[in-house]
Amino acid sequence: MSKSQRLLFLLSLFLIFLSDLIFLLNEEKKERIEKLFEAREKRIAFLNRDMVSLEKERSRLLFERDKILRELEEQKRKEKELARKKKLLELWSEKGLRPYRFGHRIFDDEKYLEINIDRNFADDFVLAPVTSGGSYASLLKKVFNNQWNSFSDELKEKIVTLAEKVNRLDRKYLRVGMNLVLPASLEALEYSPFKKRLSEEELAEIAEKRNELVSKYWNDFGSAYGNRIFQNRASKEWHHILVIDLAKQYFGIYRDGELIHWGPVSTGRKDFETPPGFYISLWQKYDWYSYTYDAPMWNAVNFTTNGLFTHQGVLPGYPQSHGCPRMLEGDSKLVYDISLNEVFPIIVK
């Protein structure tokens, strides 16, 4: 074997040895890397378990916190409610209101307390529960005793209507267990939740706002639309003002500043509140139908461009509509008849 051949052979051996060494080093490195990945995966799994535990603990603590906050909120609400009841009861007592002798449950009907705190009822009204088969007439008969039979049918109807108005509740919706405010004397017929007369300053301010709104509708919608909705009523003299009290759930009608009529309403419930503001009667239709709520709206008088009307409807004794002020049949007819001849202000407050 020549010298060059021996060198080539040795070089080949060296390369084989080197390749084997490199292979072994790579295998060792690969094994170390696999161990590192394995350790990393174990660490990640451990951390994930910790995260799950921490998340569960966090959720538990949040639940406990919310529970405590709810309990505190409920406690505050109860304390506030008790304070309100106490204040209402004090006001109730200060104004001399008395329960009728056949019983009452004063805290069973907070509506009674709320709607009467600003009234000076004295001995003209009493509080009485609706009993089995009860009606306004049967309850009033108990209140007036032997006097009731001596009253004329017309006077009885006036007293029953007053009870219906004061309680803001249709006579056909009376239920056993309700507490009602009932007239206890003929002097109660003089009661009104509104002041008897508007001042000259109030009338002047109302007239100015009314005329501004009429002009606004003419300017915004043009004479064609104005003629269509007002039907030549805008230029006529107007004498009436409709006031709707959202807090008391009553309305009052003034003619030339003098209160001529009042009655109950049921305005928009929560999420459908009737917006307070100054409006005017726009147009009216005796047999309007709401396709939105699939319901008839008799004696409807429109006063907004987004579909609010005064109309005949159910009066459960509290705000219950989708925004429209509901009225008793006779009251809605009166407002409708007025709207046929004039464009009058409607004040919702």
Please say if the pLDDT value at position 7 is more than 60: yes
Rounded Cα distance between 207 and 54, Å, is 68
Contact 239, 255 (CB under 8 A): yes
Pairing assessment for the beta strands 258-264 and 345-348 based on DSSP bridges: unpaired
251: left (phi over 0), alpha (psi -120 to 50) or beta: beta
Residue 108: which pLDDT band, with cuts at 50, 70 and 90? very low
CA atoms within 13 A on the CB side of 294: 0
**pLDDT for position 119:** 44
**Terminal CA-to-CA distance of the chain, rounded, Å?**
122
Q: What is the pLDDT of residues 128-158, one digit of tens each?
A: 777 766 788 888 888 888 888 888 889 889 8
Average pLDDT, the chain: 77
Q: Which two tokens stand for residue 125?
A: 């009204």
Please say if the pLDDT value at position 34 is more than 80: no
CA dihedral 152, 153, 158, 159 (to 10 degrees): 70
Q: What is the pLDDT of residues 283-340, one digit of tens each?
A: 888 888 888 877 888 999 999 888 899 999 888 877 888 889 999 999 999 999 999 8
| DSSP string covering 157-201 | HHHHHHHHHHHTB-GGG--TT-EEEEE-SGGGGG--SS-SB--HH
Rounded Cα distance between 161 and 155, Å, is 10
Rounded Cα distance between 248 and 21, Å, is 98
Give residue for tokens 């109309």: 311
Question: What DSSP state is assigned to residue 104?
Answer: -
Higher pLDDT, 80 or 112: 80
Residue 67: which pLDDT band, with cuts at 50, 70 and 90? confident
Can you tell me whether residue 243 is helix, strand or coil?
Answer: strand
Q: Which two tokens stand for residue 60?
A: 């538990």
Can you tell me whether residue 247 is helix, strand or coil?
Answer: coil
